[in-house]
């Protein structure tokens, strides 16, 4: 979207910044509060507090922001001329002015986003007030990525043609024969790779370890027909976006191969076929002793300063205890072990679950001629992959600001505003999908519309599932080609299927448990011990006090233990902030 032609937009932003910068001379809650609407929000991502946190309401944010401004030495807030100019947009159904900012702190350079509703005015002089303000750490002073890249350049003329070349040096470095990595990243999917790439640009030595045989196998080995259900423009990796020749919806193998290419291009140190077996922290030394086992069975102890779990929001398969299921004598497998349905032609199958994997597996089985019935355990959100599912990704659609600007817009939305926006979008999606949803309900499918009607994105951020982007399976359910029954209507499982409460029998030779995955906090006790698990607490899901995802991309209760996970778009921007925290810790800034 181009800049709004109304000069009043720029004047309103300049007026607010003038008053804000004047207040920085001696920040006080009263003066800072006067610059915000009563229901204003401030989100800080490291820039002023070295924390992730959102405060809502003028009375709550004003004293905290005043204190943080003074402590951080924040100054020189201005419109960033290198980014999208101030403009009028609609956020959460509200017309507002949006402006990208830059500023300085004692530690580095900040980036920010100011949002002012067009109808909001302060009592005095009708001056504009802020609705939302994001302050985020962009770069550490003296350790900017461009500065560090320039320092790594080798001289052009004084080269030793007989000495080790780039490949020799890289191979030797990846061996870690005579040193330990500063950061050990456990898990080599997109979350681990994006963090390793970011750390590499900051000159922080990072090693990824992963059990898989090849980089990208966490995607490559999943079920045959898997594709991403959001479009490619949301899923680029930092520094190296997908080629413009790629399709809108990427297949699992394209993603897998691209991750392998990305690791090579970004010079990421990566040990495949390496099991992470746990670690213990030495508080006096400020280091971990981590135990890994290589492909040939060799054990190795590493002593990194930091460990990052990048093992996905959905890591270990979750297999719930299901009464009487032990009586079933056919083939029973979790969705993570499902390949394709070719072997099940003309044979009866039950798919337990109604999330994305369950639908995709049911559709694959049906396409191979299996007789499929889905078993629904709880209401599920269903949204057509186009256009309905994509409306939540609207900031990434169409022409407009750069990807970096769009990421900052995403990061700038406080949780309460996000909920309002998503309720509006969910109502729009329901209208788009009304015929399909009515057909599903007639077939006996129970529908959900997310937490307080906020749609699928917040389900992902709280549960990691509970929704399906329809790419054809819903029509098969609505037409009766794929059966649907409710779990609570099953009386008992039998050796050859299940018996319903009304006496009907459901034959099955295969039962697929599409029952989801355990979260990252499942690993903590087993890998680091109960004390560490208690110090860390829950991982993922929102903390009501901070309005942030718990223990994600930030310092945790256990020093030097970090977590990263989430969608491609989340990992793309938050890998930046996590890498800067680790670099700051190495510099003694935090």
Report the distance separating Cα 364 and Cα 340, nearest Å. Answer: 7
Report the distance separating Cα 212 and Cα 192, nearest Å. Answer: 13
Query: What residues does 376 pair with on adjacent strands?
Result: 486
Domain ranges of the chain: 7-140, 176-246+269-315+521-586, 325-513
Q: What is the mean pLDDT of residues 330-338?
A: 93
pLDDT at residue 229 is higher than 80: yes
Give percent above pLDDT 70 in the chain.
Answer: 98
More confident residue, 396 or 236: 236
* pLDDT for the residue 297: 85
Secondary structure class of 350 (helix, strand, coil):
strand
More confident residue, 518 or 266: 266
Secondary structure class of 112 (helix, strand, coil):
strand
Tell me the CATH class for 325-513: alpha beta
Cα angle value 194/517/578 (rounded, 5°): 25
Lowest model confidence (mean pLDDT) among 18-22, 160-164, 327-331: 160-164
Instruction: Give 523's pLDDT tier (boundaries 50, 70, 90).
Output: confident
* pLDDT for the residue 2: 38
Q: What is the mean pLDDT of residues 440-465?
A: 93
Element (H, E) at 531: helix 530-536
Q: DSSP character for 53?
A: E
* pLDDT for the residue 3: 41
Q: Kindly report the CATH number that applies to the domain delimited by 176-246+269-315+521-586.
A: 3.50.50.60
pLDDT at residue 312 is higher than 80: no
* pLDDT for the residue 5: 47
Displacement of CA 272 from its chain's centroid (Å): 23
Q: What is the mean pLDDT of residues 397-421?
A: 94
Q: Which residues contact 522 (CB under 8 A, 6 or more apart)?
A: 315, 316
* pLDDT for the residue 339: 84
Instruction: Give 165's pLDDT tier (boundaries 50, 70, 90).
Output: confident
Fold designation for 7-140 = Nuclear Transport Factor 2; Chain: A, (3.10.450)
Helices (H), 251-346: 252-265
Report the distance separating Cα 256 and Cα 250, nearest Å. Answer: 10
pLDDT digits (tens, 9 = 90+) for 112-129: 999 999 888 775 567 899
pLDDT at residue 415 is higher than 60: yes
Report the distance separating Cα 476 and Cα 439, nearest Å. Answer: 10
Q: What is the mean pLDDT of residues 518-545?
A: 90
pLDDT at residue 421 is higher than 60: yes
pLDDT at residue 57 is higher than 50: yes
CB 482 within 8 A of CB 468: no
Q: Which residues contact 562 (CB under 8 A, 6 or more apart)?
A: 306, 307, 308, 309, 553, 554, 555, 556, 578, 581, 582
- Residue corresponding to tokens 């350049």: 153
Instruction: Look at the alpha carbons of 233, 259, 227, 319 in this order and tell me if their dihedral is positive or negative.
Output: negative
Lowest model confidence (mean pLDDT) among 180-189, 362-371, 508-517: 508-517
pLDDT digits (tens, 9 = 90+) for 277-300: 999 999 999 999 999 999 888 899
**Mean pLDDT of the chain, nearest integer:** 93
pLDDT at residue 304 is higher than 70: yes
Report the distance separating Cα 506 and Cα 498, nearest Å. Answer: 5
Report the candidate in 113, 517, 523 with the shortest Cα–Cα distance to residue 320: 517
Q: What is the mean pLDDT of residues 190-218?
A: 97
Lowest model confidence (mean pLDDT) among 130-134, 296-300, 403-407: 296-300
* pLDDT for the residue 1: 35
Q: Is 61 exposed, middle or buried (0-12, 13-18, 19+ CB in 10 A)?
A: buried
Report the candidate in 107, 116, 106, 96 with the shortest Cα–Cα distance to residue 35: 116
Report the distance separating Cα 331 and Cα 166, nearest Å. Answer: 51
Rg, C-alpha atoms of the chain:
26
Tokens representing 138 are 């962009």
Tokens representing 559 are 């020093």
CB 217 within 8 A of CB 256: yes
pLDDT digits (tens, 9 = 90+) for 95-107: 999 999 999 999 9
* pLDDT for the residue 6: 60
| Phi, psi dihedrals of residue 139, rounded to the nearest 5° | -145, 155
pLDDT digits (tens, 9 = 90+) for 357-394: 999 999 999 999 999 999 999 999 999 998 998 998 88
CB 492 within 8 A of CB 505: no
Same fold flag, 176-246+269-315+521-586 and 325-513: yes
* pLDDT for the residue 366: 97
More confident residue, 251 or 4: 251
Give percent above pLDDT 90 in the chain.
Answer: 82
């Amino acid at each position: 979207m181009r800049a709004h032609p109304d000069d009043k937009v720029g004047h309103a932003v300049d007026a607010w910044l003038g008053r804000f910068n004047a207040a920085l001379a001696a920040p006080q809650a009263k003066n800072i509060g006067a610059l915000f609407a009563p229901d204003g929000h401030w989100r800080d991502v490291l820039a002023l507090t070295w924390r992730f946190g959102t405060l809502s309401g003028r009375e709550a944010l004003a004293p905290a922001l005043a204190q943080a401004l003074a402590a951080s030495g924040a100054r020189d807030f201005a419109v960033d001329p290198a980014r999208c100019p101030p403009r009028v947009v609609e956020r959460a159904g509200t017309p507002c002015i949006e402006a990208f900012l830059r500023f300085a702190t004692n530690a580095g350079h900040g980036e920010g986003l100011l949002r002012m509703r067009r109808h909001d005015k302060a009592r005095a002089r009708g001056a504009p007030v802020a609705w939302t303000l994001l302050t985020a750490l962009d770069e550490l002073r003296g350790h900017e990525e461009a500065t560090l890249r320039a320092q790594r350049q080798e001289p052009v003329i004084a080269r030793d043609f007989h000495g080790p070349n780039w490949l020799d040096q890289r191979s030797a470095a990846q061996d870690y024969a005579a040193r330990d990595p500063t950061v050990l990243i456990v898990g080599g999917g997109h979350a681990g790779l994006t963090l390793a790439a970011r750390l590499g640009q900051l000159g922080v030595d990072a090693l990824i370890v992963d059990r898989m045989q090849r980089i990208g196998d966490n995607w490559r080995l999943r079920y045959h027909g898997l594709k991403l259900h959001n479009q490619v423009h949301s899923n680029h990796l930092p520094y190296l976006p997908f080629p413009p020749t790629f399709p809108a919806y990427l297949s699992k193998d394209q993603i897998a191969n691209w991750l392998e290419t990305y690791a090579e291009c970004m010079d990421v140190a990566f040990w495949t076929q390496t099991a992470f077996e746990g670690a213990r922290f030495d508080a006096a030394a400020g280091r971990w002793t981590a135990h890994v086992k290589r492909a040939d069975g060799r054990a190795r102890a590493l002593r990194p300063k930091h460990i990052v779990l990048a093992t996905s929001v959905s890591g270990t398969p979750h297999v719930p205890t299901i009464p009487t299921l032990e009586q079933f004598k056919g083939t029973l497998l979790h969705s993570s072990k499902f390949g394709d349905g070719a072997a099940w032609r003309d044979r009866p199958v039950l798919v337990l679950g109604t999330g994305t994997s369950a639908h995709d597996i049911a559709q694959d089985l049906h396409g191979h001629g299996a007789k499929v019935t889905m078993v629904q355990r709880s209401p599920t959100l269903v949204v057509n992959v186009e256009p309905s599912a994509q409306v939540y990704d609207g900031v990434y659609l169409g022409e407009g600001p750069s990807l970096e600007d769009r990421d900052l817009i995403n990061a700038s939305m406080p949780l309460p505003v996000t909920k309002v926006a998503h309720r509006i979008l969910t109502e729009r999606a329901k209208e788009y999908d009304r015929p399909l949803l009515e057909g599903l309900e007639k077939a006996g499918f129970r529908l959900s519309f997310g937490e307080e009607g906020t749609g699928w994105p917040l389900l992902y951020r709280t549960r990691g599932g509970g929704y399906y982007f329809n790419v054809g399976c819903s029509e098969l359910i609505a037409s009766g080609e794929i059966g649907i029954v409710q779990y609570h209507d099953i009386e008992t499982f039998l050796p050859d299927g299940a018996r319903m409460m009304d006496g009907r029998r459901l034959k099955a030779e295969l039962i697929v448990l599409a029952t989801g995955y355990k979260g990252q906090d499942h690993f903590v006790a087993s890998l680091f011990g109960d004390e560490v698990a208690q110090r860390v607490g829950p991982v993922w899901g929102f903390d009501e006090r901070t309005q942030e995802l718990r223990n994600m991309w930030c310092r945790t209760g256990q020093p030097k233990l970090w977590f990263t996970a989430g969608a491609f778009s989340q990992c793309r921007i938050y890998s930046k902030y996590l890498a800067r925290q680790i670099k700051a810790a190495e510099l003694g800034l935090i």
